[in-house]
């Protein structure tokens, strides 16, 4: 769980004649993450696409264009199907012709409809004006301007002209006539409240023209609706085929492009890639059987979990260059009837040396499973200089959804620990501890289930599972706190009435009598932070040990472990205890006001001195190693104290829920404890404990109007607390995970495992 799956690098070497069969088999296995050839070997070039690849790509473009035209989505698929080359060719052409004709017709109708709508818009002012169109244009000595505006303003502007003028207006549409040229009329109207529109060069009644346009619009809309229905029918008929054809052609194009990653000569090829070590034997057997053993398959290495245990190939000079060794003439033909000089696998070897024993192939074309030896005198070399293993996170099904949180920072490197399991343990714990309410927990769980059931996306489903886990932990802590929506009903009805306790096992500490619980949570959350940070530093130490050895690990990580634990041993010791808060030693002492009766009253002063020495030792290690980190030595205090935000948000959320219930139910104080007035009103409390005991009378006990308003306050208040519970407790918990915890040991820039192949969804082979 804390490490990704062990990965192995394999090499497949064979003659060009069997390359197609190898590609087909490797694709169907869907297990090898292909490595890219970087041109490092003399005599070898990157391969060229297989025949038929361009044709498949062209058809794929056609299929995707048709999907776009018809609006086909994955939900339209229907059952999977077998798609033959002949069937694909014929049906694709038939659908293409029909779809393009309908699409052209749709585009034509939409274009004409837009034109008619534009003409309608232009004609509406003239229909309002009511003057025949042929009276508004075509004069030699009369100028006309039509537009929207104020007729009085237009008339005033025209009064300054030394020419006869006339103004006609109707519902804000104005026509101005003047015996002058167009330029003079236009200049005169500049000062008027007037916006001109272009006069169409048409004849007749504009209202009749507008009616004809509206009739034509209706015809076009009807025709367009008919075409849309025909396209919809075609979509239903063709969707399954198009999705299957896209998948088939994508597979063909992907297979055709595979040789681009290979190292090839005229007669041979070499392909390399990564796959889980547990599947190497299956891979070797399947590929070898597919080509009757006419390939050399070699497990080059089993990658170690460090950055120096894999992916390092020797640079080979001229004498050690890999060359394509041609077969000797006169050899027998292969069982397939192909001459051996064309079909037999060509040896990609180094002239200057021999392959190691571990890399020699067995008689059936498989390697003996040993790791390849990289030799400077000419041994096994790899195609890429920087070819780190891809990452396959190896978590059980119950933990796997939490990879969503890990990947929010980044996929783990192959060489570093995968923190998903630790997130699974700690994130719901922090979230549930902060909210700690049975009612809120049930709602969070329900929301999580809704997300899980509603969405098909893996990311959303995983988010739903994480939300359900956080909700379940919130519910559990709600039982321990004895709270339902901030009311202590579980405490009274279960822990007191049934179990026989005086109160719930743990409390949040809002009332004066239980305030010691609030102080306890500040101490407990710091202790939790110390443990959490220690786990991070230990993981960093183990990574440093595997990368650089014990010395570097002690200097770079051991220094922080010493400083962190030494500081807090000092803090919780009796050394200088007069200068330290007393509650540090009262939380666990078992005395009056202690939350936990563990008998702890502080570490001896001698332990505090040892702790101080550990801090100095840690600083000394930093001074001889990464001395620049000395300036950050304060983080052993600051990052541990950062976990106080857990207790702070816990009290804040509890206080908000208390305030909402206080406003509605009212509350009183008795012997330092707060009690909501669920069963009795303010009058009863005043008689029993005096008026001064009442904190607030409560809207529930007021008038009918106050009761109605109180219900609104109660519902909205708890909704706000519910929402802020997600934004505050969720964000603060994630922040502690990503910043204080992850930054100690986690980079998160690993490569995703993307095996060559396709998970068929819409097609099947038989």
pLDDT tens digit sequence for 628-656: 889 999 999 999 999 999 999 999 999 99
Local confidence band at 386 (pLDDT 50, 70, 90 cut-offs): low
Among candidate residues 321, 359, 324, the one with its CA nearest the CA of residue 344 = 324
Distances in Å between the Cα of 71 and the Cα atoms of 65, 67, 236, 244, 653 are: 10, 6, 10, 15, 48
**How is the chain split among helix, strand and coil, in percent rounded to 5?**
55, 10, 35
Domains and CATH numbers, the chain: 8-47+262-359 (3.30.70), 57-112+227-256 (no CATH), 121-211 (3.30.70), 515-647 (no CATH)
Average pLDDT over residues 539-546: 92
* Measured distance CA(757)–CA(287) in Å, rounded: 14
Read off φ and ψ for residue 539, nearest 5 degrees: -60, -40
Render pLDDT for 579-626 as a digit per residue (tens, 0 to 9): 999 999 999 998 887 899 999 999 999 999 999 999 999 999 999 888
Render pLDDT for 179-192 as a digit per residue (tens, 0 to 9): 999 899 999 999 89
* Measured distance CA(428)–CA(443) in Å, rounded: 15
* Measured distance CA(717)–CA(698) in Å, rounded: 14
Burial label for 723, CB within 10 Å (0-12, 13-18, 19+), is exposed
Average pLDDT over residues 293-321: 64
CA torsion, ordered 59, 65, 67, 70, to nearest 10 deg: -130
Greatest C-alpha distance within the chain? 117
Burial label for 255, CB within 10 Å (0-12, 13-18, 19+), is buried
- Give Cβ neighbours of residue 601 (< 8 Å, ≥ 6 apart): 585, 589
Render pLDDT for 258-283 as a digit per residue (tens, 0 to 9): 999 999 999 999 999 999 999 999 99
Average pLDDT over residues 95-112: 96
Render pLDDT for 363-381 as a digit per residue (tens, 0 to 9): 343 333 333 333 333 334 5
Render pLDDT for 435-458 as a digit per residue (tens, 0 to 9): 999 999 999 999 999 999 999 899
Check residue 766 and give its pLDDT: 62
What pTM does this model have? Answer: 0.78
C-beta separation of 380 from 372 below 8 A: yes
Check residue 274 and give its pLDDT: 96
- Give Cβ neighbours of residue 592 (< 8 Å, ≥ 6 apart): none
Local confidence band at 682 (pLDDT 50, 70, 90 cut-offs): very high
Tokens coding 301? 């290495």
Check residue 160 and give its pLDDT: 85
C-beta separation of 77 from 287 below 8 A: no
List residues bridging with 24 in a β-sheet. none
Tokens coding 496? 């007191």
Average pLDDT over residues 336-363: 37
C-beta separation of 146 from 194 below 8 A: no
Instruction: Give the three-state DSSP class for 456.
Output: coil
Average pLDDT over residues 550-567: 95
Check residue 307 and give its pLDDT: 54
* Measured distance CA(501)–CA(653) in Å, rounded: 25
* Measured distance CA(174)–CA(191) in Å, rounded: 15
Check residue 381 and give its pLDDT: 52
Q: What angle do CA 362, 349, 342 make, to 5 degrees?
A: 80
CA torsion, ordered 468, 474, 480, 482, to nearest 10 deg: -110
């Amino acid at each position: 769980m804390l490490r990704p799956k062990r990965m192995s690098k394999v090499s497949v070497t064979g003659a060009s004649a069997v390359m197609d069969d190898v590609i087909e088999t490797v694709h169907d296995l869907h297990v090898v993450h292909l490595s890219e050839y970087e041109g490092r070997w003399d005599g070898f070039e990157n391969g060229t696409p297989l025949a038929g690849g361009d044709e498949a790509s062209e058809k794929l473009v056609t299929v995707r264009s048709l999907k776009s035209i018809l609006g086909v989505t994955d939900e339209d698929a229907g059952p999977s199907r077998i798609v033959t080359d002949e069937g694909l060719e014929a049906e694709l052409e038939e659908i293409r012709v029909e779809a393009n004709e309908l699409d052209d017709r749709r585009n034509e109708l939409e274009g004409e409809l837009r034109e008619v709508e534009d003409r309608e818009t232009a004609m509406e002012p003239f229909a309002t004006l009511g003057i025949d169109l042929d009276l508004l244009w075509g004069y030699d000595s009369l100028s006309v301007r039509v537009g929207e505006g104020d007729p009085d303003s237009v008339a005033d502007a025209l009064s300054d002209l030394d020419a006869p003028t006339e103004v006609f207006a109707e519902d804000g549409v104005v026509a101005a006539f003047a015996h002058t040229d167009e330029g003079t009329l236009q200049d005169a109207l500049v000062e008027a409240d007037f916006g001109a529109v272009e006069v169409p060069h048409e004849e007749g009644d504009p209202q009749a023209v507008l009616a004809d346009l509206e009739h034509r619009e209706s015809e076009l809309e009807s025709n367009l609706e008919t075409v849309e229905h025909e396209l919809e029918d075609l979509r239903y008929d063709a969707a399954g085929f198009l999705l299957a054809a896209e998948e088939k052609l994508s597979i063909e194009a992907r297979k055709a492009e595979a040789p681009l990653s290979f190292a090839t000569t005229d007669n041979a090829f070499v392909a390399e890639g990564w796959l889980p070590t547990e599947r190497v034997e299956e891979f070797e057997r399947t590929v070898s059987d597919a080509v009757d053993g006419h390939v050399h398959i070699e497990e080059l290495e089993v990658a170690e979990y460090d950055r120096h245990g894999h992916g390092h190939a020797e640079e080979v000079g001229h004498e050690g260059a890999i060359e394509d060794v041609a077969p000797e003439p006169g050899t027998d033909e292969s069982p397939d009837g192909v001459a051996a000089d064309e079909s037999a696998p060509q040896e990609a070897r180094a002239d200057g040396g021999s392959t190691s024993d571990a890399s020699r192939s067995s008689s059936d074309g498989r390697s003996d499973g040993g790791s390849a030896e990289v030799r400077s005198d000419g041994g096994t070399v790899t195609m890429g200089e920087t070819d780190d293993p891809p990452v396959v996170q190896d978590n059980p099904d119950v933990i796997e959804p939490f990879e969503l949180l890990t990947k929010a920072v980044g996929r783990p490197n192959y060489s570093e620990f995968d923190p998903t399991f630790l997130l699974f343990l700690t994130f719901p714990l922090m979230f549930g501890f902060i909210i700690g309410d049975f009612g809120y927990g049930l709602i969070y769980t329900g929301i999580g289930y809704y997300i899980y059931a509603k969405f098909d996306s893996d990311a959303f489903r995983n988010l739903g599972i994480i939300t359900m886990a956080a909700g379940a932990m919130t519910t559990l802590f709600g039982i321990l706190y004895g709270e339902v929506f901030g009311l202590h009903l579980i405490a009274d009805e279960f822990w007191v009435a049934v179990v026989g306790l005086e109160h719930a096992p743990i409390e949040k500490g809002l009332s004066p009598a239980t305030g010691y619980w609030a102080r306890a949570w500040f101490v407990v959350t710091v202790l939790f932070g110390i443990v959490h940070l220690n786990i991070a530093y230990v993981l960093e130490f183990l990574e440093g040990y595997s990368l650089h050895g014990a010395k570097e690990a002690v200097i770079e990580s051991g220094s922080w472990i010493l400083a962190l634990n030494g500081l807090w041993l000092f803090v919780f010791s009796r050394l200088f205890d007069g200068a330290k808060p007393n509650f540090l030693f009262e939380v666990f002492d078992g005395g009056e006001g202690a939350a936990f009766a563990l008998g702890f009253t502080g570490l001896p002063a001698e332990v505090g001195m040892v702790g101080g020495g550990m801090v100095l030792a840690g600083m000394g290690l930093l001074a001889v190693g990464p001395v620049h980190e000395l300036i950050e030595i304060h983080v052993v205090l600051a990052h541990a104290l950062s976990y106080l935000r857990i207790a702070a948000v816990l009290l804040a959320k509890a206080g908000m829920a208390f305030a909402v219930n206080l406003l509605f139910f009212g509350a009183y104080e008795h012997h330092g404890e707060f009690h909501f007035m669920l069963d009795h009103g303010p009058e009863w409390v005043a008689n029993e404990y005096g008026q001064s005991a009442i904190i607030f009378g409560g809207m529930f006990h007021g008038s009918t109007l106050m009761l109605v308003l109180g219900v609104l306050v109660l519902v909205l208040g708890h909704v706000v607390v519910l929402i802020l519970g997600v934004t505050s407790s969720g964000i603060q918990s994630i922040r502690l995970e990503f910043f204080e915890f992850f930054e100690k040991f986690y980079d998160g820039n690993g490569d995703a495992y993307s095996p060559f192949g396709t998970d068929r969804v819409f097609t099947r082979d038989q």
